[in-house]
Amino acid sequence: MYQKTVAARISCRGEALHFGGEVEMSLAPAPPDTGLVFCRLDLPGRPTVTASPTAVVDTRRAVALGQDGWRINTVEHLLAAAHGLGIDNLLVEVDGPELPMGDGSARYFVDLILRAGVVSQERPRRVRVVEEPLWAAEDGSYLVLLPSERPGLTVNYVFTADRRPIPTQYCRFHLGEDDFTAAIAPARTIAFLEEIEALRREGLARSNDCTVAVVVGPEGYLGPLRFPDEIARHKVLDLLGDLYLVGPVYGQVLAVRSGHRLNHRLAQRLAALPAVVV
């Protein structure tokens, strides 16, 4: 396996989910072994940060990367798209504090990457291969990462609704054999109606576009679903994005109710494993 990047520079403009307003983002080719690099064009010196567990500065409702007091928010859907398409090296430039939200899923970023094209680079890809169990748990949420005889990463996710009027959901996905672009990338994030106003008081969720999320009210879903188990699929999407902070992984994940905070804790433990050519 060889490392990959995009074939050409491509740009888009769209609304930010939490901070509101429009931002412009560009994806550009990057040299081998540089990883996924994020750049704030609107700040003096155009500072950059490379995606890694140590670069995470916030996991509240989304993942933010940053350093020295600046940040780029809501990077997990782009990370998931890169993971699903096998993109190892990428320069991401944005002229604001958050990436555009697109349609609330990773499909927006998948489409951009595929429009730019994907090229192999003359450098072998390095993978973290799980050989012993790793786990993280808190407040009734659990993540276990186990060895697997199959190449690639298998994710088993259980979403529980905690007495809300939506059913428990389960999703199983194998990255390496199943179709990420069709099965996982289009799944949108979840939003509970009673939480939206509270988020806005915190300065989050400023977008007024309710089609970018699976909105759940007191009686159930407030709009059509893309999949019957769309929430569980999006949780898989988030997990794939959060774990890609360490690059590609071979193993199998068992997840119950995990979110960005717990995903990040597991990524920190994964980072201690050596990355090897397989």
User: Can you list the positions of beta strands (E) in the chain?
Assistant: 2-6, 10-15, 22-28, 36-40, 48-50, 56-58, 64-67, 70-72, 90-94, 118-124, 126-129, 134-138, 141-146, 153-159, 169-175, 189-192, 213-217, 220-221, 249-256, 275-277
The three-class DSSP label of residue 33 is coil
Report the C-alpha gap between 112 and 85 in whole angstroms: 12
- Rg (alpha carbons) of the chain, rounded to whole number: 18
Half-sphere CA count of 151, side-chain side, radius 13 A: 7
Enter the DSSP assignment of 137: E
Q: Do 239 and 253 touch, CB atoms closer than 8 A?
A: yes
In single-letter form, the type of residue at position 199 comes to: L
Say which of 77, 234, 260, 264 is annotated catalytic. 260
User: Can you list the positions of beta strands (E) in 70-168?
Assistant: 70-72, 90-94, 118-124, 126-129, 134-138, 141-146, 153-159
Query: Is 260 tagged catalytic?
Result: yes
Tokens of 169: 């959901």
Tokens of 208: 């007024």
Catalytic site positions:
260
